[in-house]
Amino acid sequence: MDMIANLTLGFGVALSLQNLALCFAGCFIGTLIGVLPGVGPIATIAILLPITFGVDPVGALIMLAGIYYGAQYGGSTTAILVNIPGEATSVVTTLDGHQMAKQGRAGVALGIAALGSFFAGCVATLFIAALGAPLTKLALLFGPAEYFSLMVMGLCFAVVLARGSILKAFCMIMLGLLLSTVGTDLETGQERLTFGFPPLSDGIDFAVLAMGVFGFAEVLRNLENPEARDVVKAKIGRLLPDWSEIKQSINPVLRGTFIGGILGILPGNGAVLGPFASYTLEKKIAKDPSRFGRGAIEGVAGPESANNAGAQTAFIPLLTLGIPPNAVMALMVGAMTIHGIIPGPQVMTKNPELFWGMIASMWIGNLMLVIINLPLVGVWVKLLQVPYRLMFPAILIFCCIGIYSVNNQPVDVAFTAMFGLFGYLLIKLGFEPAPMLLGFVLGKLLEEKMRQALIISRGSFMTFIERPISAGLLIVAVVVLVIALLPSISKKREEVFVE
């Protein structure tokens, strides 16, 4: 009964005219940036953060969430029609989706991707609603020591699930933690790592780092690669799959929803791994695996469902524990902080309108996305024909305007450009920037909780081991790292990421 009352409250909030408009705007912008290769949700949310200042917190977060899961829908359109994944999560969709398009079945591929994503999104939202209250009650039992250990465990998962070598991912996490300490110490008032440069006394702005490492660096990376957009010339065809195609897709959609939903909760690259895991499973259990890579509808239905389920269950650790599982959720933490909301279990008790309003808006958003994606396929095809060289100046201008409007400081734009070059260098050297952003966001919180735990225990580090929940979380963190470092597991992990 409590859940029905809470969902009624949520729909009451989400169905207000302003929140409906913001949800639609978020879903539309998300689809747009998902369709355009090289413009990801991280850069877009970072650009739009300043615009949300004038909107109430619920509406702002509904719009930003819409951008994130809307980009997952849009990414499949580019993957199917152009053979370029609009999003990292759509890489697998190119394998069979584009082959279907070449066979004149582009409409069916787009239709099953949208319908599978819609089903997965609805199930994942139900999952969030069901898990929200129990996890929040559990989180209220957490003290500073438990929160510290939970964040350490989250960072260990991020290291293990990041692409590339574990050592490189670990270095990125540590760099993020180091960058989070720049600025004035809140307790002593001493400046740390500012090198006497006044603009650094308030620390590095989160939007500056995110926009540089993801926005500017992504533009440089895309300009480096020669453009070859193989837009399908064949007719799109019917958008709704027939009964035989639906029968082929039902089980992959159900399995993909389950796999994506579980992996989406994991810190690091969990949501990105969902589609890969789903595709691998479908290929292994198929009666004729040779069909995969030649236009198998299961190779689109499973991964696309996993993709959207993972995008939405990623909100569970954010809304219940205040821990961002990936870079986009880290931006959501930034947005909540800007609006004076402390992410964590208190959100459900102190801001029930925000918690349940966001959950209800996800159902509405999923329905909007089916309507936005399928009838507007012709518009997205036209948009895909615009050369990147004409788009990147506009992207850079919007990035610069967005960054300048945060603090009205020209030095922020210079810092963003510097982080852009640094981010590009990291990509060239094979380092993944996402763990760095995660380390940066959790760094301040990690330090704060560690200090609080040590003050309560009068300086004894044993407090992290003496408290059972804290000790359990630390044991899980150590076990995950040790298992990942075992030679056989490490080799298998590398093979999975290469695939």
Residue with tokens 């933490």: 333
pLDDT in tens, 361-398: 888 888 888 887 777 777 777 776 677 677 778 777 87
Q: Tell me, what's the pLDDT at 271?
A: 67
Say if residues 320 and 314 touch (Cβ distance below 8 Å).
Answer: no
Where does the pLDDT of residue 236 fall: very low under 50, low under 70, confident under 90, or very high at 90 and above? low
Q: Tell me, what's the pLDDT at 495?
A: 60
**Angle, CA 373 vertex, CA 390 and CA 34 arms, to 5°:** 45
What is the spatial distance between Cα 208 and Cα 418, in angstroms, rounded to a whole number?
A: 10
Mean pLDDT of the chain: 79
pLDDT in tens, 81-117: 776 666 666 777 877 887 888 777 777 888 888 888 8
Say if residues 438 and 432 touch (Cβ distance below 8 Å).
Answer: no
| Tally of domains in the chain | 1
Q: Tell me, what's the pLDDT at 231?
A: 56
What is the spatial distance between Cα 441 and Cα 179, in angstroms, rounded to a whole number?
A: 10
Token reading at 257? 């929803």
pLDDT in tens, 431-489: 878 788 878 878 888 888 888 888 888 888 888 888 888 888 889 888 888 887 776 66
What is the spatial distance between Cα 136 and Cα 348, in angstroms, rounded to a whole number?
A: 7
Token reading at 297? 């509808």
Which of these, 311, 302, 262, 437, lies nearest to 27 by C-alpha position? Answer: 311
Question: Mean pLDDT throughout 347-355?
Answer: 80
Residue 66 sits in which domain range? 2-498
pLDDT in tens, 143-158: 888 888 888 887 887 7
Residue with tokens 């500017």: 216
